[in-house]
Chain A
Amino acid sequence: MPQIAQLAATYSSQIFWLLLTFGFVFFVIGLGMVPKVQSTVDARDAKIADDLATAKASFARADELEEQNRARDAEARANAQAIVAAAKAKAAKDAEKKVATEDKKIAAKLAEAEDAIRAASAKALAEIEAVSAEAAQDMVARISGASVSAADAKKAVKAALNG
């Protein structure tokens, strides 16, 4: 086994070159370069964490804005609804009033018309009586030759017409 057989002859050279090469590795690479690599990684991690925090804050701000918008929206809608309701109520009242006045007017017209009809029918009836009385006077004179006074004829017609 050369590790043992050559130990006495080679240990000093092995140790010397190991210390030299490992010293180079430790001082140049370990102490010189590794912290720089590590600081790059740390800087990147910090940047990522920062960016994430910023994004989170932006998200929160956006949520807040949306909430505000929503509140404003709801308020505007409530206002609009109130205005619409008021307008509707006013329109309904106006319409009612108009209908009432028109109703009154129509009722007056109706009463007038009814009166006119009643008067016309009374007049017509009176005329019919007069005509009937004359006709009855004539008929009596022709048939019996007796003359009947206009007043008697009228009385008889009235009695016949009204039963």
Chain B
Amino acid sequence: MAAESGKIDPMHQFAIEPLFGTDQLALGGYNIAFTNSALWMVITAVVLWIFVAGGMKRQLVPGRWQMAVEFFTGFINKLMMENVGEAGKKYVPYVFSIFMFILMANLLGLLPIGIFGLHPFTPTSHFTVTGVLAIMSFSIVLIVGFWKHGLHFFSLFVPHGTPLPMIPVIFPIELVSFLVRPFSLGLRLFVAMTAGHVLLKVLAGFVINSTNAGAGYGALVGIPSFTLMIGISALEMLVACIQAYVFALLTSLYINDAEHLH
């Protein structure tokens, strides 16, 4: 789709390449090659582990690092308390994990290490990854819902005060809106990440191609494009945080549905 813009393919950044010659690694017949995507997921997990481990000093008067970690745990704790209530406390580890994993993956994928010849990769720009995360959140909702309420969980699809004749109409609508949740959850993150990265790469392509076409073109097209890139990079960092927050927020709202029905 981008072959006409010279040698720069804005989609190439999403390509998955097996690393360290593991492309034939398999488990039970399924390929489990250690790819660049896997590498960045591992980096995400390790960076997150270092971040949280640095805040484990458990001092009464916290240092800066401990404050930062406590800010995030407190943030998720508050989110769950506000949206689910006291029953939400037991989901804090899960929502914290999913929020921080997505946040770290998003932010690490924006690192400007391309200038050192390295290629950052954003696992959350693949719907295979976001889809699994969404299915996990959705499964928790289903399991908790049926565990706590049994078949009564289906009353979730009949809002309070629905007139009896309307139930056959409302029920399928609510059911569909419920079943669409994992898709909207996963696709939202995937689309936001992909779109932002493509936009940055396209603008970067403008800068390079216009400069190659001559200094005049470079000044005319390259400089405005570069200025725009700076703004969009800032916007992308915001989006990286917001998408992680939205994922955590929607997860907490769905868990609230499962915990309390309506």
Q: Shortest CB–CB separation between residue B111 and chain A, in angstroms?
A: 18
Docked-complex contact A30 and B31, CB < 8 angstroms: no
Determine whether A14 belongs to the interface, using a CB cutoff of 8 Å to chain B.
Answer: yes
Determine whether A15 belongs to the interface, using a CB cutoff of 8 Å to chain B.
Answer: yes
- Which residue from B11, B38, B128, B136 sits with its C-beta under 8 Å from A7? B128
**Which chain A residues lie closer than 8 Å to B34 at the CB level?**
13, 17
Segment among B66-74, B160-168, B171-179, B244-252 that sits at the interface with chain A: B66-74
- Count residues of B near A (Cβ-Cβ below 8 Å): 56
Q: Is the interface of A mostly helix, strand, loop or mixed?
A: helix
Q: How far is the CA of A16 from the CA of B132 in the complex (A)?
A: 10
**Which chain A residues lie closer than 8 Å to B70 at the CB level?**
37, 40-41
Q: How far is the CA of A132 from the CA of B77 in the complex (A)?
A: 138
Determine whether B32 belongs to the interface, using a CB cutoff of 8 Å to chain A.
Answer: yes
**Which chain B residues lie closer than 8 Å to A12 at the CB level?**
30-32
Docked-complex contact B49 and A29, CB < 8 angstroms: yes
0/1 string, B26-63, CB within 8 A of A gives 1: 01001111110110011011001100110110111010
- Which residue from B35, B56, B58 sits with its C-beta under 8 Å from A17? B35
Docked-complex contact A17 and B133, CB < 8 angstroms: no
Determine whether B16 belongs to the interface, using a CB cutoff of 8 Å to chain A.
Answer: yes
**Known pairs A14-B129, A41-B74, A47-B60 / 4 extra A-B pairs, C-beta < 8 Å:** A13-B35, A18-B133, A25-B97, A37-B70
